[in-house]
Amino acid sequence: MTESRLDDLTARAPGLRLLTELADLIHYGRDWTRRWGPAPLAVALPSTVAEVQTIVRWANERQVSLVPSGGRTGLSGGAVAARGELVLSLERMNRVLGFDATDRLLEVEAGITLQAVHEAARSHGLLYPVDFAARGSCTIGGNVATNAGGIRVIRYGTTREWIGGLTVVAGNGELLELNRGLVKNSSGYDLRQLMIGSEGTLGVVVGVQLKLADPPPPVQTMLLALPHMDALMQVFGLFRTQLKLQAFEFFTDVALGHVLAHGAKRALDANQPYYVVAEYDAPDDRDEQAALLAFEEGVREGWISDGVIAQSEAQAAALWRLREGITESLAPRKPYKNDIALRISAMPAFLHEMQALLAREYPRMEVVWFGHIGDGNLHINVLPPGDMAQAEFLAHCERVTRLLADALQRHGGSISAEHGIGLVKKPYLGSTRSAAEIALMRGVRQVCDPNGILNPGKLFD
Ligand code: MLT
Ligand code: ZN
């Protein structure tokens, strides 16, 4: 049965590369969550849009589920293939297709890595501003699927802001050119925006027109140590009014401990409970002066206990490593991840409630907080104690996440800021979206993918 379905696909697309070796099924069937045992039917590696269309049409006829796949660096199980699906990997479709200097649009295939996009933009003297630690492995198609955010959202917004157009293979195999790079286009529903963040459930993104920006002025990077949690938002308020921030990222001493154990170098002597990496525009002496004044004011107020400004690019990179190295340093412990969002105004009250909740509910577990606090986005990673079975650990974390979701609902927040819902957050979607919203989303999905072949089981059932 399995064989005949794949034989049929090969007959329809003779040049299509198909992988069925166990090692490939494992490699392509999982993402960074490592929670589900990968079990795809096979892996297809198309190299043309026409091949993607053939796969989608075949999947409809043969009732095979598809899992669109980028770099699989996702943290919510959105690219997991654990139920006999065909993985549709875009990794061979990774070319830069063109650049238009007048429109400042870079046209790429969906399987290109974020880092290759950065390099292409730089080669034209411009900037693609979405950025985060997985840049070398994640792909633009995956970034679109989750509306990826990262470390400079505070200045540039999320992926959504930078998509001028999308080429999408619809659920029935037809090709859609959405928005075509237009700056203004008030002609009905913006289907491009609907696709962004849809986690591969409404169509397969095969091409992307990316808007590029002017490169930033010279920037400075500062590491701050803070004596207590309230200081986080106080320093943010201060810095936001005095400086032109590019990034404002925080982590705790617990997170720092893991990154240092993983090979990063300590930048400040004494330990403090909270740290911030702030990056700000500093084209001339006046900006540097403003940063020093803001720092001194923070010290006077008792919100900052120590700090250092990078004196070179290498030092700036070393400070960034303290923040960007956290995910990698925790990965061997298989953390349970929360990725929550709140309005910045709701953050101070929420932080206190959350701190009490986590201390009460995770007495035996190490809880690592960090993230994009300037965007109202916190990452809470929980590490299992060595003597606890994985199933017991997950069940415990899921019970606490239910409490967290209730708290978020009360504070008007979201259960996913930038990682997506995928499989991991599916049970909690109702805490962020109303029943009426979810019913509409179901209706949209049904229209775009009537046979239910596009990433079934992700986002909602
Ligand atoms: C990050 O910002 O480093 C990741 O999105 C967070 C995580 O690994 O939980
Ligand atoms: Zn993040």
CATH number of the domain encompassing residue 174 = 3.30.465.10
Task: Look at residue 444 and tell me if it is in a domain.
Answer: no
Residue 2 has pLDDT above 70, yes or no: no
- CA 450 / ligand 1 centre spacing (Å): 34
Task: Look at residue 414 and tell me if it is in a domain.
Answer: yes
Task: Quote the distance between the C-alpha of residue 221 and its chain's center.
Answer: 23
Tell which phi-psi region holds residue 125, choosing left (phi > 0), alpha (psi between -120 and 50) or beta. left
Task: Quote the distance between the C-alpha of residue 260 and its chain's center.
Answer: 24
Nearest CA to ligand 1 atom 8: 327
Mean pLDDT of the 285-308 span: 96
Helix 253-261 and helix 313-324, axial crossing angle in degrees, nearest 10: 110
Instruction: Please report, for the domain that includes residue 46, its CATH number.
Output: 3.30.43.10
Q: What is the pLDDT of residues 403-442, one digit of tens each?
A: 999 999 999 999 999 999 999 999 999 999 999 999 999 9
- CA 149 / ligand 2 centre spacing (Å): 7
The last residue of a domain, from among 398, 419, 440: 419
Task: Look at residue 433 and tell me if it is in a domain.
Answer: no
Residue 270 has pLDDT above 90, yes or no: no
Same domain, 319 and 363: no
Mean pLDDT of the 228-239 span: 97
Same domain, 103 and 204: yes
Give residue 140's pLDDT: 98
- CA 331 / ligand 1 centre spacing (Å): 11
Alpha helices in 126-263 (DSSP H): 140-146, 153-156, 191-195, 230-242, 253-261
Best residue among 326, 334, 401 to mutate for probing ligand 1, ranked by most atoms within 8 Å of CB: 326
Hey, how many other C-beta atoms are within 10 angstroms of the C-beta on 126?
A: 18
Give residue 160's pLDDT: 98
- CA 181 / ligand 1 centre spacing (Å): 30
Same domain, 203 and 248: no
Mean pLDDT of the 284-296 span: 94
Task: Look at residue 19 and tell me if it is in a domain.
Answer: yes
Q: 241-252 burial by CB neighbour count: b if 16+ within 10 A, else e?
A: ebbbbbbbbbbb
Q: Which atom of ligand 1 is nearest to the CA of 419?
A: 5
Nearest CA to ligand 1 atom 9: 379
Mean pLDDT of the 233-247 span: 97
Q: Which atom of ligand 1 is nearest to the CA of 133?
A: 3
Instruction: Please report, for the domain that includes residue 380, its CATH number.
Output: 3.30.70.2740
Task: Look at residue 435 and tell me if it is in a domain.
Answer: no
Mean pLDDT of the 214-228 span: 97
Structure tokens at 248: 């404002």
Which ligand sits closest to the CA of 339? 1
Task: Look at residue 87 and tell me if it is in a domain.
Answer: yes
Same domain, 391 and 350: yes
442, β-bridge pairs? none
> In angstroms, how far is the first alpha carbon of the chain from the final one?
26
The last residue of a domain, from among 91, 115, 135: 91
The last residue of a domain, from among 91, 125, 143: 91
Residue 450 has pLDDT above 90, yes or no: yes
Same domain, 249 and 234: yes
Mean pLDDT of the 2-31 span: 95
- Domain interval for residue 44: 2-91
| Residue given tokens 């005095």 in the structure block | 242
At residue 1 the predicted structure's pLDDT band, cuts being 50, 70 and 90, is very low
Residues framing ligand 1 (Cβ under 6 A): 75, 132-133, 326-327, 337, 371, 379, 381
Please report, for residues 94, 167, 202, 270, 417, the alpha-carbon distance to residue 209 in angstroms, rounded to integers and kept in the order given.
Answer: 13, 8, 19, 47, 24
Cα separation, 75 vs 338, in Å, equals 9
Q: Is the separation of the CB atoms in 37 and 82 below 8 Å?
A: yes
Tell which phi-psi region holds residue 214, choosing left (phi > 0), alpha (psi between -120 and 50) or beta. beta
At residue 44 the predicted structure's pLDDT band, cuts being 50, 70 and 90, is very high
Same domain, 297 and 241: yes
Which ligand sits closest to the CA of 338? 1
Nearest CA to ligand 1 atom 4: 327
Structural domain count, the chain: 4
Q: What is the pLDDT of residues 371-395, one digit of tens each?
A: 999 999 999 999 999 889 999 999 9
Mean pLDDT of the 287-303 span: 96
Same domain, 316 and 228: yes
- CA 55 / ligand 2 centre spacing (Å): 33
Q: Which atom of ligand 1 is nearest to the CA of 326?
A: 3
Beta strands in 121-162 (DSSP E): none
Task: Look at residue 389 and tell me if it is in a domain.
Answer: yes
Best residue among 151, 419, 424 to mutate for probing ligand 1, ranked by most atoms within 8 Å of CB: 419
- CA 243 / ligand 2 centre spacing (Å): 23
Containing 346, the helix (H) or strand (E) segment is: none
Give residue 3's pLDDT: 76
Mean pLDDT of the 236-246 span: 97
Same domain, 227 and 311: yes
What does the mean pLDDT of the chain come to?
97
- CA 63 / ligand 2 centre spacing (Å): 36
Task: Look at residue 145 and tell me if it is in a domain.
Answer: yes
- CA 246 / ligand 2 centre spacing (Å): 15
Mean pLDDT of the 265-270 span: 92
Mean pLDDT of the 209-238 span: 97
